[in-house]
Amino acid sequence: MFGVLILLFSFNIFSQELITVSGQLLERGTKKPLKEVNIFILPHKIKAVSDERGNFKFDQVPRGECELIINLTGYKKYVKQNICYQNQDLNIFLEKVFYTTFETTVTSKVSKRDDQAQSLTQEEFIKAPGSFGGDPVRAAQNLPGVGNSGANAQIIVQGASPDDTGYVINGHRVPIIFHFGGLSSVVIPEAVERVDLLPAGYGPEYSRALGGIVGLTTKSPKEDRIHGMAYLDLLNAGGLIEGPINDHSSFLVSGRYSYIGQVLKAVAKENEDLELTAAPTYYDITGIYRNKIDEKNEFKTTFVLSKDELELVLNKPLANDPGLRGDFYNRTEFFRFIPQISTRINEKTRMDHSLGIGKDNLLVNISGRYLDVQSNVISHRSEIQNEWNENYKTYIGLDNNWDTSKVRVNLPTRYSVGGVSTPFSVGEEKKFDTVGNDGQFGFYVRQEIKTDQESRWTYLPNFRLDYFSLTEEASIQPRLQLRYQLDPSLQLRSAWGKYSQAPQPQESSKDYGNGDITNPYAYHYVLGFKKDFRQQGSQGFEFMNNYFYKDLKDQVVPDIQKNYSNKGSGTILGGEIQAKYRFNEWSSQLVYTYLKSERTIPGYGTQPSEFDQTHNLNLIGSLSKERWNYSARFRFVSGLPYTPVTGSTFDSDNDVYIPVTGRIYSQRFDPFNQLDVRVDRKFIYDSWILTAYLDIQNLTNSRNSQNIQYAYDYKQNKKVRGLPILPTFGIKGEF
């Protein structure tokens, strides 16, 4: 009898039907394969693990009731019942708790060889408040030391003129990095890997910028599958597509067009109080190709095309000179083709080579008077990096630039001190066509030295040599950085160096300026520290504090006899703090800069510079709640200085009024304050994501003064205000 029972039991076991459950595990919305994820089938207590492509498989699963369970950190728990009655091949989409806009995978930590560099990755800038939907350069305005440029709409780094700031894409100089009006950078955010700010005391890799460097690095296209993005809002529209070509190459193509000029014209027509004087229209196109040639060599090329047009929007114009009214046009366009090749010679040695090939066009037309500049540009960068041992690294490189320019000019010479210029009809008419060649050649050495592996000190004795063919000058620029690691969370640092740049083309022109002027230069001094209280975690408090001083020499200033001379000088000193705090879904940031920027001009004494802003405060916060993201930025900046016009005299020979000015830069505009808010709501589908967003610039409708408009006889004036409250609603789809 006992033997019969055993036989029946064995028969039931072996006769029970078994099935197979397989499938692929993907992230919902992005379709990213999820690897090394534990997947369970209960109550059978069997487990499978997903592979590199998210595939998994259960063999010999008993037919009957069961449930499949996945419980992965950062994702919503997934439970699927009644899957064990027949063979299954499942597509499982696991939903994240939080999604960032246009999800990006960070493959490596940002390399920050320069202690002074401040960088924002795509994950950081794309959700930054006040950045018009994640624009990298607008997000960089939240960094310490970056001032409010007002109507200039360019970047002010630590009180320096925008002309003293260099702009680079993948290391190569470009004429602009902002579109007109400063609303967006010239590369769509989703094509940018990171944005770098190199302020006072930056390293030897760059030069020809007394203020600092702002750089964009384009991303490497994704390789897993085809990805795409498109958006449309009240101000502009754009899109991007990227993905693999084959198993070793990938591509990215993006484009954007802005119709903000038409919007502002319509607003100006309906709003009599709106005092905007110009409306921009722009577009940009970016293309990227990457090819991993072999294990040691990688090729990447980037193409950037940008075009801006600016026209006047004169709403009830003040009694301007009728000859100038409404007749203004400005066009700026450029393209760059940037091929790069990187070679890993061995574990300790790497070589990088790149070219920048392109063209820059600038046209300004004011009542028949014009400036037309067309330049063909070639730039070259090469660098060899070598880690000799654990205590000594070197970076040796070349940084060269050539350009050939055709210049057409029909403009009068104008004498301008303090930002107030003489009228067009007073100056001597200059009309000429010329062709010029300019070369700038640079060689640099960066060294990182530790006396031994246990030393807390790191010494960075650096060197830069530049030659400027325009002024026929060679500039030797020693630079030094020191780093002291007091403990793993506290680093002290300092920097000193010399920096030189060529004068502006109009200043050094033999036809229009002074062909004998020399290069202005400056000495930078920096002392600071950074403290990380997070104890190697991702949440908590971070603090950074820097103090800087710049001594400016041989500054180019107006000269009534020579048009321009090197008789100017100046100083910039200040301090900056950045405090960040993150806890769960909350993040906040306080950024404050105090500075004093002064210039000395013979005959006028010492006074604040045009870009002196004593206080610059940013308060930033964001909150993420499942599919919602809320962010806000409040900005307070001291008003820019300006030179008051106290009267005028009539020039009967030229039939025009000449302004009489008070002390230059002795008055200031009212402080700038602005509150920006943004709300994003995501709708997650299996294979794509839809985002609806509301971005409101200047929520409180602050009437920030940015310029002064004078009547032709200077008896009347009114302050030109910046953008009013500007709400933008848009939608964005990603797959």
602-627 pLDDT, tens digit per residue, is: 888 999 999 999 999 999 998 888 78
User: With 60 as the cut, is the pLDDT of residue 111 above it?
Assistant: no
640-656 pLDDT, tens digit per residue, is: 999 999 888 888 877 78
Least confident stretch, 143-152, 232-241, 320-329, 614-623: 320-329
**Banded pLDDT at 78 (limits 50, 70, 90):** very high
User: With 50 as the cut, is the pLDDT of residue 14 above it?
Assistant: no
The structure tokens 């002795």 sit at 666
Tell me the CA distances in angstroms from 622 to 132, 137, 588, 680, 732, one per residue in order: 15, 19, 6, 11, 20
Please state the pTM of the whole predicted model: 0.88
Q: What are the φ/ψ torsions at residue 481 (nearest 5 degrees)? A: -125, 145
Averaged pLDDT for residues 4-8? 43
User: With 50 as the cut, is the pLDDT of residue 2 above it?
Assistant: no
254-289 pLDDT, tens digit per residue, is: 999 988 777 666 666 656 555 555 567 889 999 999
Three-state DSSP state, 704: coil
User: With 50 as the cut, is the pLDDT of residue 180 above it?
Assistant: yes
User: Which residues lie below 8 Å from residue 686, measured CB to CB, with a gap of 6+?
Assistant: 28, 29, 31, 91, 93
CATH of domain 118-734: 2.40.170.20
Q: Is 279 exposed, middle or buried (0-12, 13-18, 19+ CB in 10 A)?
A: buried
Give the whole-number percent of the chain exceeding pLDDT 70. Answer: 88
**Banded pLDDT at 32 (limits 50, 70, 90):** confident
**Banded pLDDT at 577 (limits 50, 70, 90):** very high
What value does the mean pLDDT of the chain take? 86
The residue type found at 553 is K
- Helices (H) and strands (E) counted in the chain, each on its own, are 5, 45
- The superfamily CATH assigns to domain 2-94 is Immunoglobulins (2.60.40.10)
470-482 pLDDT, tens digit per residue, is: 899 999 999 999 9
- What is the rounded CA–CA span in Å between residue 440 and residue 361? 20
What is the per-residue pLDDT for 131?
A: 67
Q: Is 59 exposed, middle or buried (0-12, 13-18, 19+ CB in 10 A)?
A: exposed
What is the per-residue pLDDT for 202?
A: 95
Domain ranges of the chain: 2-94, 118-734
Choose among 707, 705, 638, 699: nearest CA to 674: 699
Least confident stretch, 167-171, 436-440, 478-482, 626-630: 626-630
CB 231 within 8 A of CB 239: yes
The structure tokens 């994820």 sit at 37
What is the per-residue pLDDT for 257?
A: 92
Beta-carbon neighbour count of residue 129 at 10 Å?
Answer: 25
**Banded pLDDT at 115 (limits 50, 70, 90):** confident
Range 340-366 burial, b when 16+ CB lie within 10 A, else e: bbbeeeeeeebbbbbbbbbebbbbbeb
Give the whole-number percent of the chain exceeding pLDDT 90. Answer: 49
What is the per-residue pLDDT for 272?
A: 57
Q: Which residues on adjacent β-strands are paired with residue 563?
A: 559
**Banded pLDDT at 445 (limits 50, 70, 90):** very high
User: With 90 as the cut, is the pLDDT of residue 314 above it?
Assistant: no
What is the per-residue pLDDT for 290?
A: 97
Q: Mean pLDDT: which of 36-50, 133-147, 274-288, 302-316 is highest?
A: 36-50
